[in-house]
């Protein structure tokens, strides 16, 4: 009963969020047979902010769904969300997505026709790789494919250089042994 009261208090005290979307009174809704339809008024239960009580992530929830959202529990049976902003702030990194406009390879990615991404708070290279694989599959396949092709070309050049060095050593050894044989015959 006390927990239900807590949820009821949260329902009452929730911080109001702006209506999502771009529909405002007076906005054009449609145009048919020369008649323009506009929104004269909007009715909504309203939106509020909820916070993940472990990560501090903030999200927007429709008031009609707020009680259901606040009732969600984790595997350890603790509540997952609250309308009270946590005292801690989530720690973010400073790694940028490879498709970020400030990436050093952006000119090359533009040449390839790859999209832009604004993600700029990844914490580790693993997070960056997972972000690319999950959010930008096609772009990641293109970038990673190019990297693999470049590695293959470098490896082939390295093997060619190694083979050339071995051939030159073999020639030098052959010449040395031929001079040694001629000197021994004199």
Residue pLDDT, tens place only, 41-85:
766 678 888 988 888 888 889 888 888 998 899 999 988 898 888
User: What is the DSSP code (8-state) at residue 95?
Assistant: B
Query: Which tokens in the block code for residue 108?
Result: 């090359």
Q: What is the pLDDT of residues 79-128, one digit of tens each?
A: 889 888 888 877 778 899 999 999 999 999 999 999 999 999 998 999 99
| Phi, psi angles (nearest 5°) of residue 58 | -100, 140
Burial of 167 (0-12, 13-18, 19+ CB in 10 A): exposed
Band the pLDDT of 4: cuts 50, 70, 90: very low
Percentage with pLDDT > 90 across the chain: 42
**Residue 8 pLDDT > 80, yes or no?**
no
What's the rounded Cα separation, in Å, for the pair 88 and 91?
9
- CB-based contact 134:97 (threshold 8 Å): no
Helix (H) or strand (E) holding 178: helix 137-185
User: What is the DSSP code (8-state) at residue 16?
Assistant: E
Alpha helix locations (H) across 30-136? 63-70, 106-112, 125-135
As a whole number, the mean pLDDT across the chain is 84
Percentage with pLDDT > 70 across the chain: 85
Task: Specify the pLDDT at position 30.
Answer: 81
Q: Which of 8-22, 31-45, 66-80 has the lowest mean pLDDT?
A: 8-22
- CB-based contact 38:27 (threshold 8 Å): yes
Task: Specify the pLDDT at position 5.
Answer: 47
């Amino acid at each position: 009963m006390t927990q239900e009261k807590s949820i009821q208090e949260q329902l009452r005290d929730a911080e109001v969020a702006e209506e999502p979307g771009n529909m405002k009174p007076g906005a054009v809704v449609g145009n048919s047979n020369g008649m323009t339809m506009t929104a004269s008024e909007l009715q909504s239960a309203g939106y509020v902010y909820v916070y993940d009580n472990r990560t501090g992530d903030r999200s927007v929830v429709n008031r009609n769904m707020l009680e259901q959202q606040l009732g969600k529990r984790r595997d350890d049976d603790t509540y997952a969300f609250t309308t009270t902003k946590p005292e801690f702030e989530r720690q973010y990194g400073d790694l940028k997505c490879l498709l970020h406009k400030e990436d050093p390879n952006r000119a090359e990615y533009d040449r390839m026709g790859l999209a832009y991404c604004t993600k700029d708070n990844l914490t580790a290279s693993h997070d960056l790789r997972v972000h690319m694989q999950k959010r930008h599959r096609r772009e990641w396949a293109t970038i990673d494919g190019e990297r693999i092709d470049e590695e293959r070309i470098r490896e082939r050049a390295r093997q060619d250089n190694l083979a050339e060095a071995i051939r030159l050593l073999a020639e030098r050894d052959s010449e040395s042994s031929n001079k040694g044989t001629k000197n021994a015959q004199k």
